[in-house]
A and B are shown apart, each in its own frame.
Chain A
Amino acid sequence: MLGESRAEEEMVERYKDGVSIIIGQIIHSRSATEDLSQETFMKAITKIRHGELREPVRLSGFICGIAKFLALEYVRKGRRLINQEEVGKAEQIADPAPSQLERLCQQEKCDAVRQVLNELKVERDRNVLRRYYIEEEDKDSICGDLGLTATQFSRIIFRALERYRKLYMKHSGTP
């Protein structure tokens, strides 16, 4: 039993960030994402204990499937509540407003992004980031308009992300 518990902890530690990203792509709420992540692992452990994971090499896909199913189920449940006007169950939906700590983290990230943007000496690079990440334009279209090769485009993105990562780590004190 002790070994199984340690293995389950290792599994959670190993997959929690990935599961959080997968759920976060479907549900844009940090608290709901955390709840669903925990639920994902509870379901996964339960299923594994019941021997429903027949191929251990498929563990990653198994966990991903559970996480996506729960996230989608959460979205469907939220829609049902809104459609059926079940006001009495509204407290089951987490408050989407960020907490104070989350707002602080967000502001730090925004400051880092602003610094990254200000450090860009070429207006074209700012245009690339804006059109690619905010306006979600096609990469080929942007390259065609601005006369960039794919390599130049990737270099702009890479440098911006690297600079952002370093600045954010510096601001947040993350090693």
Chain B
Amino acid sequence: MNSIDHNHIDQFDLDQYLLGKLAAEESAVLEEHFVDCSQCIHRLQTTRDFLQALRLVAVQDASKAADNPRPEMRRYFWRTPFRNAFAVAVCALLAAAILGVILAINQIRRLRYEVMQAQSISAEWERRFEEERQAALLAHEERQGIERELTAQLRQMEADRQREQEHRAVEAGAPTALMRPGMNVPIFSLNAVTRSEQGPVGSASEVPLPRSPTAFILLLPLEVDLKYEDYRVSISDDRDRRMWSRKGFQPNRYGSLSVVLDSSSFRPGDYLLTVGGVTKQRGLTPLGTYPIRIIKH
């Protein structure tokens, strides 16, 4: 009788015995059984032969690999689980590379878009700046023009004010240069010119005056019928701006109008005196023009 039942012995027990992994007591019990069991002996022999041959094959393969390492190493490598790890690593690297490329492309696109946006914004700001600079220049020029115009208006208003003061003084009886008793008052007799004669430089009558303020008299001979109720005399400067105008003139017995003026109201230059006749029916009728050139010495 064997100490253990044959049915209780499996391949794993036999393997463990051949691999020397059983305890001494377990080995003794198993040996006591299989030494008299042809089936177990047969299985043990087969397993032992397979085990020895398997180890020998491994040794032979290792020896071949040592002699010719590259193909054997490659074969061993591809037969081992490292193949899967290698494949996973390669896939991971590829995935990482692709992901990196995609991210880089996206980053480049985003940066390019931002650069374009920045350029667009910069161009917009540049355009606005240029517009504002142009607007500032225009405003500056306009302001200068307005200043010039205001200055001219101020001067004109100043002159008007002065004339108005003189006029008021005359009306109020205040002694002005015109009203003050004088001597050696220059009298200039002017000649009327027609429209065709007007314009050339040589046609104006020269009126030489001293630089110090003084009164002077202009005689305006009328070369028309004296049928008008009243006469008006106006003075304009060379820019055709009216400086002075007065009605109520009456011709003397020689058919001339006399106008007393203050030299301080005139600067050297060309002026034009215009005489018109006034009737109730027809209003003002131009009768003649008298160009003069004020010269101060």
Contacts and interface: CB of A to CB of B under 8 A. Distances in A.
B31 A22 contact: yes
A50 to B, nearest CB: 22
B200 to A, nearest CB: 124
A70 to B, nearest CB: 14
A89 B199 CA distance: 161
B35 A129 contact: no
B67 to A, nearest CB: 17
B58 A130 contact: yes
B290 interface: no
Given A110-B60, A130-B58, A157-B11, A61 B32 contact: yes
Chain B interface size range: 35 or more
Interface stretch (B49-57, B156-164, B211-219, B260-268): B49-57
B60 A21 contact: no
Chain A interface size range: 35 or more
B65 interface: no
| Prevailing SS type, chain B contact patch | helix
Interface string B1-28: 1110000001110010111110000001
Contacts of A43: none
A9 to B, nearest CB: 16
B53 A112 contact: yes
Given A21-B45, A60-B32, A157-B11, A133 B56 contact: no
Contacts of B34: 18, 21
B41 interface: yes
Contact of A110 (B11, B28, B51, B56): B56
Interface in A17-72: 17-19, 21-22, 24-25, 57, 59-61, 63-64, 68
B2 A154 contact: no
Instruction: Name the residue in B12, B28, B54 with the highest tally of chain A Cβ atoms < 10 Å from its Cβ.
Output: B54
A60 B4 CA distance: 12
B55 A133 contact: yes
A168 B49 contact: yes
Contact of A136 (B19, B47, B52): B19
B47 A161 contact: yes
Interface in A95-125: 106, 109-110, 112-114, 117, 123
Given A134-B54, A154-B10, A165-B46, 10 more contacts: A14-B36, A18-B36, A25-B18, A61-B32, A64-B28, A117-B57, A133-B50, A134-B58, A136-B19, A164-B49
